[in-house]
Structure 1
């Protein structure tokens, strides 16, 4: 365990820490597709472990294999040309970590010089690349490599991974004993859909696919949406892009929490001289955050108390916005039903005379801009969609065929995506999902959840990798029992549920495949103390031992 110190070169020139727009658009844009060519010869490769994704999850898995398990026969397949995942692709103005970075980072590589508690995207990416370089992860990475299908071979007891090169379309067929899925959830942009958008005479872009070549100076800008990305984009456009005006069309209200108190940054700087000091601040933040967990869960005494207190804090802060916007801004559902926004400068920016909030419905888009249901035309030179992500699409990013030809995609389409303890999928031997279904929380760091998941996985891998076991797979009845249990519990929680009083991306078609139903301390305990009886173990000699 060590400490990382950044050079801050990303502040001088953020460009090397951002994906090229054409690459992002090719992979994630409205007309995204995987490059395919069958004219080039098929390549055949193999490794003990195949890791899908090179963001925080893929990197944490790689470091677990190297440092904890002493295993270096693995490959990381990453569709982009560098590490970072969402922190490499999402480069919109103001993009930043909403969870304090001293917690939203690897526990074995704490950074000693974050510029802010919520550092900007390019600084987060600089940190990610620094860690990747330190652990020599590029030696294991296959960039510009999109996985299209994985299939379990019942006879050989291994996985076949089908991979396409994003430049040439060349197919690689890769075999691996173990596959670890680390693709993440906030990947595929949910595009703004309105009649006539193709006729718009200006420039349209989704915040997740930002085009830095577009000049915003003295332009009339329309921003659709007011979630986390909209909250971050607005102040940056006003401050740094010299826009002429911004009309923000608010589709629904969100709770906005005050900025994280500056005292935390001061405490961080005071104790950043040593790893012990950094750990103290990290665990302090974890403890404070865990105290907030009850507000997301049920309607008991502590849940009501903490939810009520948190709501009062949010409302007091939100009411510092101009009074004319209060009805637009303030929600009528329970706090946490939609993701809570930790503000940086959005609410104060609403006093800028160049911005106007609207919540009336859009009818269609014309050449000049938005046409509202009232018939009013809102002229625009640029339309920016801050409309979030299609989380469910991430669960179907590639085809998964398990043992006996089981199509996992079909199962997930019918009942919703799930994984036992967020890690193991039925009929998928030697397959682990890190940051998978139901691993996200409303109050915690996804990086901590990722590391907890790696801990769980590492308890099963050694006897798979040394060929003691031919394979390990979760029992189907345990998988189904977990799915039913967690979905029942989530219905009594606030995450996009009837109990919470709103609809949100947490839940789709009545199934919440996103949120974890318990506290992060509970998750840590479950990841460190697996129920080994929930799994089927097959020896290399094909003898069932459990």
Structure 2
């Protein structure tokens, strides 16, 4: 017996009179909608690993922890690979998955506004090569532009007057040659820590400006890399992983576990925090033995992990480079820059040929363009003092707008890639709900966001990120609110986001009756002649519809 086709039935009148009319589709039959996502709008894909090419740039975690969860990469050249190898990997995956078929490179969003009457976002886009602009329209707007890519020069008087050449770690010029030059490196974050030991062997003199101390640690998962950062994988090892997926998966799981079991260290005064503090203090003193006077200024008084994006900062060769006769450490801040060098706040002057600014990014989370929500307000103004989101992904008064890696995302809570994947899955669940249930818009309730932030602030009081360190997690302050970190482990985030709390959202439907998506009373499974006995099972046995056959139907053959 065939399935009912209401659309073709002359008897179907779609309800009675001029009142409510049910939808003509099957249950949860998805309607077509348009999704626009910001991300990879540069001249190529790759994000962080496309933009960051400074000397020594590489991943701090094992490379095998930097792949998608559903597929590893048995061909990494070494345990901790360079930014260029990471870029090649991710670009290769983008090609393999057909991303370029849906991508507009060299395009920049310059504005977006929610059109409540239509239930769509009007998105202004500019082609950065031609200068031409146009307006796109979409029911769903996803901001996957990242949170560490809006680089900026430091706000130091006189920077433009410097007569030598200057570089920024986030916008590197490969043509620059620092051989036998007097070089100043401003900044002691992750990029500065990699640049200093890489350039130290070739420069004539170097001064490195350190405003805040940082914990230097052993390599992450060091027991799996016997030669440390120099551990190179042989062709035989790579071939073995490629031919033995089970063994390769076992190796990948060991790495993931090693990064996911450190959550306890984030609590002030925990046993793991105390042990790590003692261990890393001894390690740093040993590495600074040639200049022991630096130890008191370089070893932090705050907790391990307070200011670092990925908890631990291996910094291979960094402390040893600071002990070199070529290198002078300048503690404090630069007061001004002259035509020939730096003047520190204490009046000390350094004559240099080149200045490298390893000074980071705009970490305010504010969008780069006007983003106008349902109440006519610009998110840049709302987030002027503090960026606030619901679970890092949605924002009150901004319907159908989703952020990947928004405020209070899992930046240093364990593994990172799975949390990005988890966020996308969360967004896709929302998109499917909108498509399948006749929904015009979803937007988080303000009270739900406020409850989340209250919980976040409460737990942060007991966590290392509120120690007395200067951190971009607190927008470069010492004692501000922590808006860069999730209040839990990566596993905690994954499990929470796996089951969206739709009760925390205000939902507006396309029709007055919220059950309009029930349709003609038939499912897509029925409409598409799928397995109509899918719910039956016997222990250890399963059959699909083709194996069983459709059966004669209730009336037998007709």
TM over 0.5: yes
Pair 1:211-2:173 in alignment? yes
Pair 1:314-2:311 in alignment? no
Unaligned stretches of 5+ residues in structure 2: 1-31, 517-558
Name whichever of 404-413 and 222-231 sits farther off.
404-413
For 1:537 and 1:373, the matched residues in 2 are separated by 55
Structure with larger RCO (C-alpha < 8 A, sep 6+): 2
CA RMSD of aligned residues (A): 2.3
Name whichever of 81-90 and 121-130 sits farther off.
81-90
Task: Name 2:205's counterpart in structure 1.
Answer: 245
Pair 1:127-2:113 in alignment? no
Q: 1:400 aligns with which of 346, 356, 371?
A: 371
Q: 1:505 aligns with which of 465, 468, 472?
A: 472
> Within 5 A, what are the aligned runs for 1:32-43?
none
Task: Name 1:140's counterpart in structure 2.
Answer: 102
Task: Name 1:236's counterpart in structure 2.
Answer: 198
Q: 2:380 aligns with which of 396, 400, 409?
A: 409
Q: SS state of the match for residue 473, structure 1? A: strand
Q: TM-score, normalised by structure 1?
A: 0.80
For 1:374 and 1:347, the matched residues in 2 are separated by 24
For 2:221 and 2:432, the matched residues in 1 are separated by 44
Task: Name 1:363's counterpart in structure 2.
Answer: 335
The Cα shift of 1:204 comes to 1.5
Task: Name 2:304's counterpart in structure 1.
Answer: 335
Count of matched residue positions in the alignment of Structure 1 and Structure 2: 466
Q: SS state of the match for residue 164, structure 1? A: strand
Q: Deviations over 1:19-77 (max 9, x none)?
A: xxxxxxxxxxxxxxxxxxxxxxxxxxx971111112xxxxxxxxxxxxxxxxxxxxxxx
Unaligned stretches of 5+ residues in structure 1: 1-45, 55-77
Pair 1:447-2:417 in alignment? yes
For 2:345 and 2:468, the matched residues in 1 are separated by 26
Pair 1:189-2:156 in alignment? no
Change (3 A) 1:148 1:297: farther
The Cα shift of 1:331 comes to 0.7
Between Structure 1 and Structure 2, the one with more strand by share is 1
Q: TM-score, normalised by structure 2?
A: 0.79
> Within 5 A, what are the aligned runs for 1:257-276?
257-260=217-220, 262-265=222-225, 269=237, 272-273=241-242, 274-276=244-246
Tell whether the 8 Å contact from 2:46 to 2:87 is kept in structure 1 after alignment.
yes
Q: SS state of the match for residue 342, structure 1? A: coil
> Within 5 A, what are the aligned runs for 1:286-325?
286-299=256-269, 304-319=270-285, 320-321=287-288, 322=290, 323-325=292-294
Change (3 A) 1:385 1:466: same
The Cα shift of 1:463 comes to 2.8
For 1:105 and 1:264, the matched residues in 2 are separated by 17
> Within 5 A, what are the aligned runs for 1:431-510?
431-466=401-436, 468-495=438-465, 497=466, 500-508=467-475, 510=480
Tell whether the 8 Å contact from 2:212 to 2:470 is kept in structure 1 after alignment.
no
The Cα shift of 1:520 comes to 0.8
Task: Name 2:248's counterpart in structure 1.
Answer: 278
Larger Rg: 2
Task: Name 1:390's counterpart in structure 2.
Answer: 362
Q: SS state of the match for residue 402, structure 2? A: strand
